[in-house]
Amino acid sequence: SLYEDHGVKRCKRLLVFINPHGGQLSRYSGKAVEPVFKAAGSSLTIVKTERQGHAFDYVKELSLGDFDAIVTVSGDGLIHEVLNGLAHHADPLTALDIPLAPIPAGSGNGLSLNLIGIEHGFDSASAALNVVKGRPMKTDLFSLTQGGKRSLSFMSQSLGLMADLDLDTEHLRWMGDTRFFYGMLRGIVTFNPCPIQLSMKVATEDKETMTQTFLSRIKEKTSRVKSEEVGKPSSGALPALKYLPDDNEGWVTFEDPILFVYAGQGPYVGRDYMAFPVSEPDDGLIDISVMPVTSRGDILSAIDGAEKGSNFWFPSLRYYKAHAYRVKPLSRKGNLSVDGERFPFEEFQVE
Ligand code: ADP
Ligand code: MG
């Protein structure tokens, strides 16, 4: 029936956040999105965000059970905000069980790319169809602690060149995601080392091994995807942190000067950057790529083929799967980007 198709409820009650400040709101054509929802019999509650934090406050008090999904019309930043609002709900795990569905209208739409694919990831009609027809999927989240405050991140944390190219180009939002390319060129010209100390609780750092594990797990997943259950809803508080700041057992420090660190899951973080080609949404590990300071020529070669993930194999690019990591700034000046949002350039830990 129209209502129920392979266990996917189509007539969804949707809570839709539209960020008028989103990088490429012009790409969001109401004509391509709302008619799709309505044709599927969905009901819409539309909230135009009036300020940063509006969606956070809204979902924090959400009456659970009123909506089947939360739709964000913006980029990754609004998803980050909604996620953290849900984490601050009185019943965080139940709140975090509500499916999140992005309509790409920001400059960075990493989640849409990963859900819908590189070809249609920036296409709002495809995204609308995915809201209606898609099946919810569980994903790992990153727990970031900084100055005693805990935040959730769903995609990435970056420092050095890769954070600068995003955060230092905010004034160029009119460029769409071209601003990231511009920022990249600028970063290669200035070539500033990133003043941090990075320590990791490493699970593996052998690229061959992680590739083999990835391929065999993908094979196993595709063979059981049809019968897969969505998973039991959970409730209660967020799980306690596993790694205490003073626990140093089995942690290793990266010794060479660093140009950038990109940590998270993906595979895509942008249309032309597959930062985490061997990441999985449910392996409980953080993928961390670290580019040491070598030469400008080396960086250019390292990012060659980044849209297909071939940068992964570049010899000087180090890649880790880790249970947790810590960053200590060695200077006051620097950028930390979490899901594309600016965070204080201060000591933090992720697990
Ligand atoms: P983009 O990819 O274009 O940066 P994002 O969704 O990543 O789009 O980020 C948009 C940012 O704008 C987020 O930090 C979000 O909290 C913030 N925001 C949401 N609504 C508003 C608003 N009405 N005015 C200003 N900022 C807003
Ligand atoms: Mg953003």
pLDDT tens digit sequence for 214-259: 999 988 887 765 545 555 567 788 989 999 888 889 999 999 999 9
- Name the β-bridge partners of 196: 329
CATH class of 4-136: alpha beta
pLDDT per residue as tens digits for the range 23-53: 666 666 667 899 999 999 999 999 999 999 9
Cα–Cα distance measured from residue 286 to residue 305, given in angstroms and rounded to the nearest whole number:
22
> What residues line ligand 1, using a CB cutoff of 6 Å?
19-23, 49-52, 54, 74-78, 81, 106-108, 340-341
Fold topology of 145-350:
Tumour Suppressor Smad4 (2.60.200)
* Prediction pTM value: 0.93
Residue with tokens 């939360």: 70
pLDDT mean over 106-117: 92
Exactly one of 68, 76, 97, 287 is catalytic; which is it?
Answer: 76
Ligand 1 atom nearest residue 78's Cα: 6
Whether 106 and 79 have beta carbons less than 8 Å apart is answered as: no
3-class secondary structure, 322: strand
CB atoms within 10 A of CB 25: 16
**Joined tokens for residue 59:** 């979902």
Q: Tokens for 314?
A: 């570049």
Domain ranges for the chain, please list them.
4-136, 145-350
**Atom 22 of ligand 1, nearest CA residue:** 51
User: Catalytic: 304?
Assistant: no
User: What interface predicted TM-score (ipTM) does this complex get?
Assistant: 0.96
- Rounded distance between C-alpha atoms, residue 193 and residue 159, angstroms: 10
Residue whose structure tokens are 């029936």: 1
- Residue 134's identity, in one-letter code, is G
Identify the residue whose C-alpha is closest to ligand 1 atom 7: 77
Q: pLDDT for 135-186, tens place per residue?
A: 888 999 999 999 999 999 999 999 999 999 888 888 887 887 888 888 888 8
Ligand 1 centre from 58 Cα, in Å?
Answer: 15
Q: Say which ligand is closest to the CA of 56.
A: 1
CA-wise closest residue to 75 among 11, 127, 151:
127
> Is it true that 4-136 and 145-350 share their CATH fold?
no
Confirm if 165 and 188 have CB atoms less than 8 A apart.
Answer: no
The CA-CA-CA angle for residues 20, 24, 29, to 5°, reads 80
